[in-house]
Amino acid sequence: MASKLGTFLAELKRRKVYGIAALYAAVGVAISLAVPDLFEALLLPEWTARLVIVLVVLGFPIALVLAWAYEVKPESPRPAGAEDRPAASGRPPEPEARGTVSSPGPPSADATPDQEPPKSIAVLPFVDMSPDQDQEYFCDGMAEELINALTKVEGLRVAARTSSFYFKGKSEDVREIGGQLAVRAVLEGSVRRAEERLRVTAQLISVEDGFHLWSENYDRELKDVFAIQDEISRSIVEALRPALLGQEQQELVTAPTRSLEAYDHYLRGRHYWEGRYEKGLETALSFFEKAVEIDPAYALPHTGIADAYAVLGMYGYLRPEEASERARTTAERAVELDDGLSEAHASLGFIRLLYSWDWDRSEANFLKAIELNPDNADAHAWLSLQLAVQGRFEEACEEAASAERLDPLSNYIVTISAGVFYFKRDFEKAAELLERVVARDPSYLMAVWILGGTYSQMSRHGDAVRAGERAVTLSNDALFFKGWLGYVYGRAGRQEEARALLDELHACEDSRYVSPLSFLSIDVSLGENERALDRLAQAVAEGTPYLYSIHQDPMVDPLRSDPRFTALTSQVGTGIVASGHDPVEEGVNPS
């Protein structure tokens, strides 16, 4: 009974009934004091003054009822956000504590009785309300864990992390967010972390009308973070249960590690991982390795290490043999530690696709990852790439479409889809997708880089050069992207600039690793086919990761008729369905 009374009083406070009562009382007292003298001055009968005072008293409970009811059914539905959603700065007002919550609360009375509960949801990034504003990584991790937990609920579609996080720091109306993500509910909240205490506030909002379906505050010790995540997830499921009848109660969040310190390092690693490329990857790697040092049985940071090494090798920041060995062994270790971890199987598949070219086994890894978590957009996207480079374009397009449906606002996913169309030689479609990404984020390096190559194949050489130069700038003059720019220069007829970049790469070769594909691409654009084939032989011997695309990449079309090319590329990939393209038949404009 005490708990119910506390909840009721807290709800009165949230609906601002207390404030209305205080305001009404103050105005009522003022009227009661002023009316007798005013009515006497106007020569009105004494009973009229008493009548006004009686009406003021009778109106008090009516005002309180209206204050409560207006929150439930206003004439014009108020979108959640006038008070509850983040302001334009991206920071919501901090909610007042309602005490420690020990069990999931029922759906809020804000939900209209006849409202059909949603079966799809987006979890927005939680806002950092900590005193030092230094817990962004932890807030992101909290939201990501809730996304992972809710994907376990059968019948509930959950928007992917990247698409949900697109709205980070933005003040979009929840109904606009729902429309863009094709979901019917949005979860938003904030985290305040101070010393060993944690306060989490969360609210579930219907995007149809902006009403709250459920909201709650949690005040706990930091060591209870996994219990809080599970409790929030189960509370949401309870709020949605009318649409999910037959769903048994289940534990949605299991502690992946007993060490909160290891978990904290893993979250920091993923935060820096999102920056990608050399500096962000190296910082992320240090946090992942620290997490493993603290808890060697914690599978997720092993996956993080594998991903970091895989990408460092892709862009030539590490030699392929070093990147491959570390990526493969840590990904395999992650699978050993947790065979039910979708991310581990996807990462191992990605490494096998790029580095060992063992595409039969990588496809099996991707399919296993999707079986474990059908909403794993990265697994669908990586599988689409593999299918594309094998020439299985119909299947590739289907997987790419699945990835886009799961994560429609992910620049990474859309860029991979564009890559599928690039290999298919549908350059118009590839350019359309990439232009969409670049319009959304002009600094997204991967899209800018591939867009330059796409423009080059379309003979839009001016646009190609501008994109190539922009990619070099965004990469902080990384040698890998300079090699690609040299290719674009050569195709555009700017041979002097292409040769200058080729000389620069040669000058760096003694002191830094330079991918042989960087030399190959420039040589091809200059018509130096024999030198290009020499570099191809070196790339095959080294296991250079970007060779995975050699069977479909239009860049090497001038080499395809050479028997040496055929012999070398036969060593790349297993289970190849179709390889090689006739530039004329495919409509490519060779340089």
pLDDT in tens, the chain (591 residues): 444 444 455 455 545 555 666 666 666 666 666 667 666 666 667 766 677 676 766 766 766 666 555 543 333 333 333 333 333 333 333 333 323 333 333 333 333 334 444 578 888 888 888 777 777 877 787 788 778 777 777 777 888 888 888 888 777 888 888 888 888 888 888 888 777 777 878 888 888 877 777 777 877 776 666 676 666 766 666 666 554 434 455 555 465 666 777 777 887 887 776 666 667 788 888 889 988 888 889 888 899 999 999 988 888 888 999 999 999 999 999 999 999 999 999 999 999 999 999 999 999 999 999 999 998 999 999 999 999 999 999 999 999 999 999 888 889 999 999 999 999 999 999 999 999 999 999 999 999 999 999 999 999 999 999 999 999 999 889 999 999 999 999 999 999 999 999 999 999 988 889 999 999 999 999 999 999 999 999 999 999 998 999 999 999 999 999 999 999 999 999 888 887 665 434 333 333
Residue 92 three-state SS: coil
CA–CA separation, 381 vs 160, rounded Å?
A: 13
- Residue 112's pLDDT is what? 38
DSSP symbols for 500-519:
HHHHHHHHHTTTS---HHHH
302 in Cβ contact with 343 (< 8 Å):
no
- Residue 67's pLDDT is what? 59
CA–CA separation, 386 vs 366, rounded Å?
A: 10
Question: Which residues lie closer than 8 Å to 74 by C-beta, 6 or more apart?
Answer: none
**Residue 493: other Cβ atoms inside 10 A:** 12
Using alpha carbons, list the distances in angstroms from residue 533 to 263, 512, 516: 47, 22, 10
Q: Tell me which H or E stretch contains 127.
A: strand 127-128
Half-sphere exposure of 485 (CA within 13 A, CB side): 25
Helix, strand, coil share of the chain (percent; to 5): 60, 5, 30
**Residue 347: other Cβ atoms inside 10 A:** 30
Tokens of 482: 């300079």
Using alpha carbons, list the distances in angstroms from residue 141 to 137, 145, 263: 6, 6, 10
- Residue 95's pLDDT is what? 31
Tokens of 580: 């090689």
- With 0-12 CB in 10 A as exposed, 13-18 as middle and 19+ as buried, what is 200? buried
Q: Which residues of 450-467 are buried (b: 16+ CB within 10 A; e: fewer)?
A: bbbbbbbbbebbebbbbb
- In 3D space, the residue among 137, 6, 13, 141 whose CA is nearest the CA of residue 71 turns out to be 13
- Residue 29's pLDDT is what? 66
- With 0-12 CB in 10 A as exposed, 13-18 as middle and 19+ as buried, what is 223? exposed
Using alpha carbons, list the distances in angstroms from residue 512 to 317, 322, 404, 507: 9, 14, 37, 9
- In 3D space, the residue among 448, 385, 374 whose CA is nearest the CA of residue 411 turns out to be 448
Tokens of 37: 């003298």
- Residue 218's pLDDT is what? 75
CA–CA separation, 486 vs 174, rounded Å?
A: 46
- In 3D space, the residue among 455, 377, 457, 443 whose CA is nearest the CA of residue 416 turns out to be 377
218 in Cβ contact with 232 (< 8 Å):
yes
- Residue 19's pLDDT is what? 62
DSSP symbols for 22-70:
HHHHHHHHHHHHHHHHHHHHTT--HHHHHHHHHHHHHHHHHHHHHHHHH
| Angle between helix 516-525 and helix 479-491 axes, rounded to 10 deg | 10
Tokens of 338: 């947790």
Question: Which residues lie closer than 8 Å to 486 by C-beta, 6 or more apart?
Answer: 497, 498, 501, 502, 505, 518, 521, 522, 525
Residue 318 three-state SS: coil
Q: Tell me which H or E stretch contains 200.
A: strand 197-206
- In 3D space, the residue among 296, 300, 299 whose CA is nearest the CA of residue 268 turns out to be 300
Residue 193 three-state SS: strand
